[in-house]
Amino acid sequence: MGEKLKEARYAFSEQEVKTYFTAPKVLQGLFRIIETLFEVAIRPDTAPVWHPGVQFFRIERGTHLVGQFYLDPGARTGKRGGAWMDDVRARWLRPDTGALQTPVAHLVCNFAEGVGDKPALLTHDDVITLFHEFGHGLHHLLTQVNERDVSGISGVEWDAVELPSQFMENFCWEWDVLKHMTAHVDTGEPLPRALYDKMLAAKNFQSGLQTLRQVEFSLFDMLLHMGQAPVVNGHPDILALLKQVRDEVAVLQAPEYNRTPHTFGHIFSGGYSAGYYSYKWAEVLSADAYAAFEEAAEHTGTTLDVATGRRYREAVLEAGGSRPAMESFKAFRGREPQLDALLRHQGMTTA
């Protein structure tokens, strides 16, 4: 029912949207954002690769090498599904030689390849995924910490590691950004404003329900690992605990036969035990961080504000895991995180 309502209200063709997001144009737009905000240059580089579709790049500031990365965007037989960023090596000042080892990262996606002589076309979700993984990559590559155990993504608390990745996703919804990184595959025309407005209107459909679902999962996970499940016949009753949580926060109750905990792999085999809340908490951090760029735009006319980008880079990206993430956030924002920006970004408040 919800999907039918969404379709009726915001009907637009995903295939139509896709024709405007050609992979070369999207990558060019992404690189433009990174180069502008973080005062670097991204250039093609040379290294052995495991597939002809893999590219290798270097990031420079002035004449100095900052880091390098492999980009493997295309889907193919035998390749692991999904998208991820991983480190090849960390920044490290070698104690034996005094030489600086610069960081290297993998950035891997599974986007459909182009057909014939046409470039690959990305869905808007693909674009968001690409920006997300590059956020992780920037966290690793732009670090200025010379101790490898806390440089880049190393040593960053679990509930803050998604801040830089989710932060980058915000640019995928900016009209002034999208119009420069879209070009119709046949005509070269940028994304029409009317189509963008439909996409934006659909963005926050049922965001309140989605938020409550995340709260439900997070509360269940935390209470379960705190040993708060009711004890029945000498054993914790997991389903009874889940019902307690749902009675408190759920708008729509699941049927009696539902066995969500049996498939909740994130908290049993996915590394999120007592930490599932970090998904939502990282959204709070990223939305509040991005709000600083929105505030700057009120004066400069653009979210691609170099001064704000420099402060974010120095306080968050360059610090890596060398200090508590909250200290890095406060160094950037001058205060602790607030909920206001997240509620506004998700359409739950206008203020």
Residue type at position 160: A
- Residue-range domains of the chain with CATH: 13-203 (1.10.1370.40)
CA separation for the pair 54, 189 (Å, rounded):
28
Q: List the one residue out of 152, 148, 118, 134 whose CA is nearest residue 70.
A: 134
Question: Which pTM does this prediction carry?
Answer: 0.91
CA separation for the pair 60, 221 (Å, rounded):
43
pLDDT confidence of residue 351: 56
Give the pairing of strands 104-111 and 64-74: parallel
139 and 164 in contact (C-beta within 8 Å)? yes
203 and 9 in contact (C-beta within 8 Å)? no
**Crossing angle for the helix pair 207-225 and 238-249, to the nearest 10 degrees:** 140
Q: What's the pLDDT band for 1 if we cut at 50, 70, 90?
A: low
Strand order in the sheet with 41-44: 41-44, 55-61, 64-74, 104-111, 84-89
Q: For the segment 218-232, what is each residue's pLDDT rounded down to a tens digit?
A: 999 999 999 999 999
CA 108, 111, 116, 121 dihedral sign is negative
294 as an active site residue: the answer is: no
CA dihedral 7, 11, 13, 17 (to 10 degrees): -120
Q: What's the pLDDT band for 146 if we cut at 50, 70, 90?
A: very high
CB atoms near residue 111 (< 10 Å): 19
pLDDT confidence of residue 2: 65
pLDDT confidence of residue 14: 84
Give the pairing of strands 104-111 and 84-89: antiparallel
| 323-334: average pLDDT | 97
321 and 168 in contact (C-beta within 8 Å)? no
pLDDT confidence of residue 3: 62
Annotated catalytic residue, options 14, 133, 283, 318: 133
CA separation for the pair 169, 287 (Å, rounded):
10
Percent of the chain with pLDDT over 90: 79
Q: For the segment 157-216, what is each residue's pLDDT rounded down to a tens digit?
A: 988 999 999 999 999 999 999 999 999 999 999 999 999 999 988 888 888 889 999 999
Extract the tokens encoding 333. 């924002």
The contacts found for 292-297 with CB under 8 angstroms, 24 or more apart, are 292/332, 292/333, 293/170, 294/341
CA dihedral 34, 36, 41, 46 (to 10 degrees): 30
